[in-house]
Amino acid sequence: MAKAKAKGKPKAEAKAGEGGSGGNGGSAKWLLAAGAILVPVLGLLAGGFGQEVPGREAKAETPKAEATAQEGLSWNPKTLSVVLPCAGEGLFAKKTVISVAKSVPGGIGGGILEEIIVVDDGSTPPLSQDFLTEKFRKKYPLTLVRHEEAIGLMGAKSAGAAEARGDVIVFFDCHVAPQDDWYRQFLDSVAQNYRRIVMPVITNLDIDTWKETERNQGLAKCYLTWDADFKWVESASPFMPVLSGGLLGISRRWWNETGGYDDGMSGWGGENVDQSLRSWLCGGEIVSLSNAYVAHMWRKPEDPRTKKNYAESALDSMKNKARAVLAWYDEYREKAAEYPAMQYVGLLEGGKADLNRDVSNFDEVKERLHCKPFAWFLWRFRDIYVEGGLVPREVFKLREVKTGKCLTFLGPMGTHPRGQAAAALLPCDMPLANMRIHPEGQKWHARNRDPSSGKCCSSIGSWNTDQCLLQPTQEGSVSTVVCDVSGRQVPPWRLLPDDGSGAKAQLAFGSGNQAKCLIVDKKGGMMQLGPSLEAPKLKLAACKGTGRWEKVGAEEPMETRLYREAQEKHAALFTV
């Protein structure tokens, strides 16, 4: 029999808004239309930003299993509880229930699928009225938890988890269709380690047929940025630094041991950061299941049927991420506090939001599970953070010798809202904050792994942003795109020669005999960046001794100093 459980009114508003921009990955193509980069930059200098661009799909691999056997961690889970937080999903909720029930042999209560728990988070009218009716629940005996007023995604998921009886709790969105033997993949993987969180490959769902439209590469792995954002990453390892969203499986035991979600957060967004760090730092792990597929409905502006039917608060997401930073980043909170979003909510002080900075509720979990420092997380994923250049040896300015001007990033700090920007030559030490662009936009560092060696680095990136140099434009600037940790999607840039001394060198684009060097276009004149701002035009030319650059003001950045100090302080933790 279905259980209909009425809940109270903990909060009066529905809150949502993921805020994670793993999406700004953008598949970098080396050849772009001539004006595709500079025009948005000019608009940026004039004030205002554009809309976020869709994300690049991360490559799904079938890696060899890594040994993770630890005494007392393996077990034999038999059953699953699937929790579906639903807010205004209507027919999608019904289709998802049917899809989940039919995807597991025996259906609901058939020996594997212990239950489907639908949390109706303030839907108007209630889902039980037109879709999850009493007649429907007789055929599909789900557990229905009803919130008369919405409490948000985290509260809805927590309410569902509290009802779960299965060995493994599975959280799905309320608009999915699990594929093939996903349930077996979940159970078999979690059986190896009860402290393991598993995440499927997310593919595309046709909402008319409710079938997977294409498997392609799907979406899987993400890494964490300094400001608690997350981005897609291409990796051969099944282990992933951070969950990209809400589709996952976790043992009921590990859910309870880690304390579930932070009750100081609200709405939607940021819980994935907390849960990921809570797991990794406290003895758990997160694995991407390359053979478990779940088709997912994506919100499309051109299709009103996919529109969200609940309120959305980007501020909630920002505040939630700030709480995750306060709870888990240790000294790196100072690094996160450099970013505009964290300054806005007042990560450390001030701010324009009523951020609850009291994270003492995390202390009990940290003490009981003997959680590691945040720097260990960076070391655990050193192939991303160290070899990918996110913990750079140094940051520096690139000064063109003849003009005496410095290469300057013409975009904001952090994640670029459009996923692409440009760089130009401007006076060194120019006060960039007055231009509404990154105040440290003249600082650069080595980025992205060298694909041939797997070591750092093959490209040059703007410090404290997600942008790497791409190529010169016809307008005379140098375009930038989202950096790619793997080094496969962004072309190589390097100083020739670069002996680390800061001596004059050429700034080379490409590799081998095909490399060309960045020089000032003597015949090109100046390019206008604004009403009273111009810059010398740049272009590529044969590397024949022309075009000299030098690194100036090289320094060890905060993130690298903190990483080095943590290794010295906790040497025993940083061992292979």
* 26 has pLDDT over 90: no
pLDDT tens for 405-415 read 999 999 999 99
Residue 27 covered by a domain: no
How far does CA 173 lie from the centroid of its chain?
Answer: 18
Q: How far apart are CA 391 and CA 380, in angstroms?
A: 13
* 398 shares a domain with 364: no
Confidence class for position 500, pLDDT limits 50, 70, 90: low
Residue 100 covered by a domain: yes
Confidence (pLDDT) at 52: 29
CB < 8 Å & 24+ apart, contacts of 100-107: 100/172, 100/176, 100/178, 101/140, 103/177, 103/178, 103/179, 103/182, 103/183, 104/80, 104/183, 107/140
Residue 64 covered by a domain: no
Q: How far apart are CA 341 and CA 337, in angstroms?
A: 8
Please report, for residues 428, 440, 445, 568, the alpha-carbon distance to residue 553 in angstroms, rounded to integers and kept in the order given: 11, 12, 12, 26
Residue 50 covered by a domain: no
> By CB neighbour count within 10 A (0-12 exposed, 13-18 middle, 19+ buried), where does 80 fall?
buried
* 404 shares a domain with 357: no
Confidence (pLDDT) at 37: 37
Mean pLDDT of the 330-354 span: 94
How far does CA 575 lie from the centroid of its chain?
Answer: 27
Q: Which of 36-45, 46-55, 455-464 has the lowest mean pLDDT?
A: 46-55
Residue 438 covered by a domain: yes
Contacts of 323 (CB under 8 A, 6+ apart): 262, 264, 265, 270, 274, 355, 356, 357, 359
Residue 247 covered by a domain: yes
Structure tokens at 473: 């434009």
* 179 has pLDDT over 90: yes
| Domain count along the chain | 2
The DSSP symbol for 393 reads S
Confidence (pLDDT) at 235: 82
* 460 has pLDDT over 60: yes
Confidence (pLDDT) at 31: 34
Mean pLDDT of the 200-205 span: 93
* 329 shares a domain with 411: no
* 70 has pLDDT over 50: yes
* 309 shares a domain with 171: yes
* 268 has pLDDT over 50: yes
Residue 473 covered by a domain: yes
* 425 shares a domain with 358: no
Q: How far apart are CA 119 and CA 246, in angstroms?
A: 14
Mean pLDDT of the 266-280 span: 94
Phi and psi at 296, nearest 5°, equal -130, 140
pLDDT tens for 520-550 read 999 999 999 988 889 999 999 999 877 899 9
* 221 shares a domain with 123: yes
Confidence class for position 71, pLDDT limits 50, 70, 90: low
Strand boundaries in 362-433, DSSP class E = 395-400, 405-409, 420-427
Percent of the chain scored above 90 by pLDDT?
Answer: 73
* 249 shares a domain with 121: yes
Containing structural domain, residue 473: 394-555
Structure tokens at 285: 């792990």
* 464 shares a domain with 323: no
Confidence (pLDDT) at 498: 58
The DSSP symbol for 241 reads S
* 418 shares a domain with 286: no
Structure tokens at 284: 């758990």
Q: How far apart are CA 26 and CA 57, in angstroms?
A: 8
Mean pLDDT of the 141-150 span: 97
CATH number for 405: 2.80.10.50
Mean pLDDT of the 181-206 span: 97
Residue 379 covered by a domain: no
* 217 has pLDDT over 80: no
Q: What is the DSSP string of 428-462?
A: TT--GGGGTS-TTTT-EEEEEE-TTTSSEEEEEEE
Higher pLDDT, 254 or 504: 254
Q: What is the mean pLDDT of the chain?
A: 87
* 399 shares a domain with 366: no
**Which residue, of 322, 340, 371, is where some domain finishes?**
371
* 411 shares a domain with 342: no
The DSSP symbol for 463 reads T
CATH number for 122: 3.90.550.10
* 446 shares a domain with 358: no
CB atoms within 10 A of CB 374: 23
pLDDT tens for 45-62 read 333 322 222 233 333 333
Q: What is the pTM of this model?
A: 0.86
